[in-house]
Amino acid sequence: MANLAIIPARGGSKRIPQKNIKPFLGKPIIAYSIEAALKSNLFEEVMVSTDDEEIAEIASQYGAKIPFIRSSENSNDFAVLADVIGEVLKTYSIQGLNFDNVCCILPTAPFVTSEKIIEAYNLLIDTERNFDTVFPVLEFSFPIQRCLQIKNDKVEMIWKEHLNTRSQDLEPRFHDSGQFYWIKSKAFLEEKKILTNNSGAVTISQLHAQDIDTETDWKLAEIKYKMLLNEKENNL
């Protein structure tokens, strides 16, 4: 099967300037995604979809391909991930290249590993389950069924029926880790969605993920990554 890795990395990040190429513990953060994809040995091509020359240059240095520049239409603040994936697949198709599966790996996902990419891929191609998409998720650290809202300056439970429910009696709930998404191209071209009625997941721990939207998030991610490195060294 022909597999393509897409790393979407447009320029112009506002909350964290140059977020996609900002140094993360010694190297541009996008390098972690590129290296994990290459190490998995699953892809005919690992490409970066970008509109930014500096991002393209750095991505190329770490082994990614930049076969074409992302359109301005899909480089604004309103373009969603599905639009970018669709554009990449369409452009390759025009060039006579088609892929059975796509793995969209986010550029600010330093915790992504080749092992998890492979694990999710094996689930995607499992003929018994026959998922359209597969991606990593993690459990909410606090039971979401007991979440609160502030209404008219007062705190109240949204699901009041769980006011006295013990945490251990509530079903686990999960959220997207924001690392990568395996997608069968045929299913995507039909539905134009990443999360479908036929999606599967692999689970990861809180220590192996960190949403990075602010400078505080960035510092937390570096702390977690250092902890993982120390843990790995201690197990050698």
Q: pLDDT tens digit string along 108-143?
A: 999 999 999 999 999 999 999 999 999 999 999 999
Q: pLDDT tens digit string along 146-203?
A: 999 999 999 999 999 998 999 889 999 999 999 999 999 999 999 999 999 999 999 9
With respect to residue 85, please indicate whether it lies within any of the assigned structural domains.
yes
Q: pLDDT tens digit string along 29-66?
A: 999 999 999 999 999 999 999 999 999 999 999 999 99
With respect to residue 212, please indicate whether it lies within any of the assigned structural domains.
no
Considering only CA atoms, which of 175, 5, 221, 219 is closest in space to residue 99?
Answer: 5
Which residues have C-beta within 8 Å of that of residue 78, sequence separation ≥ 6? Answer: none
With respect to residue 101, please indicate whether it lies within any of the assigned structural domains.
yes
Dihedral, CA of residue 201, residue 207, residue 211 and residue 216, to nearest 10: 170
With respect to residue 22, please indicate whether it lies within any of the assigned structural domains.
yes
With respect to residue 213, please indicate whether it lies within any of the assigned structural domains.
no
Where in the sequence is the domain holding 38, given as residue range(s)? 3-137+176-205
Taking the alpha carbons at both ends of the chain, their separation in whole angstroms is 35
Distance CA 115, CA 136 (A): 12
Q: How many domains does the chain have?
A: 1
Q: At what angle do helices 114-124 and 29-40 cross, to 10 degrees?
A: 50
Which pTM was predicted?
0.94
Distance CA 41, CA 114 (A): 9
Which residues have C-beta within 8 Å of that of residue 168, sequence separation ≥ 6? Answer: none
With respect to residue 224, please indicate whether it lies within any of the assigned structural domains.
no
Q: pLDDT tens digit string along 183-194?
A: 999 999 999 999
With respect to residue 146, please indicate whether it lies within any of the assigned structural domains.
no
Does residue 236 have a pLDDT over 80?
no
Please report, as a single letter, which amino acid is at residue 97.
L
Domain at 96, CATH number: 3.90.550.10
